Amino acid sequence: MKKILVIGASNSPSSINKQLAVWAAEQIQDAELTILDLNDFELPLYHPQRHKEGIPELAQAFYNHISDCDGVVISFAEHNGSYTAAFKNIYDWASVINSKTWQEKPLFLMATSPGGRGGISVLDAAAARFPHMGGQVLATFSLPSFGQNFDDGISNDELLMKFKDALDTFAEGIG
């Protein structure tokens, strides 16, 4: 059984990105899911002086979740064209534990938003950056206009086919 780490990269209690990430991971055959809520990893804002005081337990716990999985499914909320502050902060803390934060794990990167661009700016940024941080980006997918295209699953047939192709690529890559 594949161990999949699922991250909705937002701390919104009603995160559409968490909904998408969980639904996507549930489509993987023979998978054991560990679903993270970024609200469970609230940390002080990273800066070098705090780092000198030591690594917070929650940052180590987040990093350990990555260590313990076979692959990671992440869906990004986009704030001003980039990661949410909550995700960026935990990511910064994890990166000082190991600059190869993703530990050569296969990644399925996604994004969604209420708008027509579907978080593509943050998705592109993550897809470009994460290989330098030890991630094997196997597939990406953007879901535009979440409210019109998602209702207990992707409701747009064309987008669903693109999603399935991306998911198949990811699932094959994790064995």
pLDDT of residue 79: 94
* Mean pLDDT value across residues 51-67: 96
User: Using CB atoms within 10 A of its CB, is residue 63 exposed (0-12), middle (13-18) or buried (19+)?
Assistant: buried
- Categorize the per-residue pLDDT at 113 as very low, low, confident or very high, splitting at 50, 70 and 90: very high
H-assigned helices in the chain? 16-26, 48-52, 57-67, 85-97, 120-129, 146-149, 157-173
Is a pLDDT exceeding 80 seen at residue 175? no
Is a pLDDT exceeding 80 seen at residue 88? yes
Residue pair 103/138 in contact (Cβ under 8 Å)? The answer is no
Digit-coded pLDDT (tens) for 133-167: 999 999 999 999 999 999 999 999 999 999 999 99
Is a pLDDT exceeding 90 seen at residue 130? yes
If you average pLDDT over every residue of the chain, what do you get? 97
Is a pLDDT exceeding 80 seen at residue 101? yes
pLDDT of residue 140: 98
